[in-house]
Structures are given as C-alpha cells and as structure tokens.
Amino acid sequence: MVSTRELRETEFLRDFHESELSDLAGIAAHTRWKEGETIFHAGAPAAALYLLRVGTILLCFPNGRSMPLRDEGHAVGWSSLVSPFRYTATAVCLSDVRLYEFSGRELYRLIQMNALFGQRLMQKIAQIMEQRDRYRRGTPVSFGRD
C-alpha cells in the first residue's frame, strides 16, 4: 500500500494536489527489481508508468544510445500514456531498484476524471519526452570494429 505522504515527497509529484495524490496512491504499487533485471523492453506494449524511488536504471534506446537515471523521482514508461502505447526504450536495472508502479489504464481513467490533473501530468510527460527525444531520435552511430 502506497501512502499519499510517500508520493508527496517524490519530486515528480511535488506540485500535485492532495486529492490527486490520494487518487494516485490508490492505484500505485511498490515494486522491487534486482540488479540486471529488465523492467520493460523497447517495442513492448506499455502498460505502466514507473517512478524511481531507489537505485539506478539504464534506459537503452534501439539506436544504441543510453541514459542512466539515478535520482529519486525520475519517471520511466511515459509511453503508457502516449500513443502508440509501446515502450521506446529498454529499462535495465544497474542496481537493486525500488519503484512506484502506476497502471497506464488507471492513470488514463484519472486523467479523464480530472482535466486539470490531466493537464499537469501531460505537461510533465511532454517535458520527459522532449528530454529523451534527443536520445531516441539520434541516428545509430557505428564507431567500432565489433
């Protein structure tokens, strides 16, 4: 069971309203992953959005680029809210990782219920997309001999 207080302390959700946090807490789940485990694969149907609590995740894009996420509060799995609802990167745990997991379908239901919450959430998602787009869109580069 995830508490509203825990979510409030997450950077990603800091400016969300108490009632919205309580709705989010209702659909959130704690998940734990071991070092080396893959949280999701690029191209797989995107079912959940995750917020990082502890640990390091490496996002590996199909073009060979990658991006480590270390700070608490990073969101991964934005594709669960944006069509075509397929992950654009593979998320691999570089250490033991603890995450909050939110079902994409449940999140979408909350967005439909509350337009202002939807606006705030989608703005944040758009920011993340913009930041990661540089990694996703970069062309594959071959530097080596292998």
Partner 1 sequence: MYGLKAISAANGWTITFTGLAIVFTGLVVLAAIMANMERFLALWDRRGELLAGFKHPPRKQPFLVQEPRTDRPEAPTTDKTRVHLPLDQIEVADHFHLITNRLGEPFSLAQLLEKASKHGLSSPHRHLDTFLKLGIIVEDSGDRQGFYTWANDVEIVRSSAEE
Partner 2 sequence: MEYLLDFWGNTGFGLADYRHFIMIAVGIVFIYLGIVKHYEPLLLVPIGFGILMGNVPVFKGLGLGIYESGSVLSYLYFGVHQGIYPPLIFLGIGAMTDFSYMLAQPRLMLLGAAAQVGIFLTFLAALAMGFLPREAASIGIIGGADGPTAIFLSAKLAPHLVGPIAIAAYSYMALVPVIQPPIMYLLTTREERLIRMPDPRPVSRREKIIFPVIGFLSCCFLAPAALPLLGMLFFGNLLKECLVADRLALTARTALIDIVTILLGITVGASTQADVFLTAKSVGIFLLGAASFMVATASGILFAKLVNVFATNKINPILGAAGVSAVPDSARVVQLVGNREDPGNYLLMHAMAPNIAGVIGSAIGAGVLWSFMM
39 binding partner 1? (CB under 8 A): no
Q: Which of 1, 5, 123, 143 binds partner 2 (CB under 8 A)?
A: 123
Q: Which of 31, 67, 86, 96 binds partner 2 (CB under 8 A)?
A: 86
Q: Which of 116, 140, 145, 146 binds partner 2 (CB under 8 A)?
A: 116
Q: Are 92 and 52 in contact (CB under 8 A)?
A: no
Q: Which residue number, 2 or 82, has a Cβ lying nearer to partner 2?
A: 82
137 binding partner 2? (CB under 8 A): yes
My answer on whether omega of the bond before 84 falls inside 30° of 0, hence cis, is yes
* CB 29, min distance to partner 1, A: 24
Give contact residues for partner 2 (rule: CB under 8 A): 15, 17-18, 82-84, 86, 109, 112-116, 118-120, 122-123, 125-127, 129-130, 133-134, 137
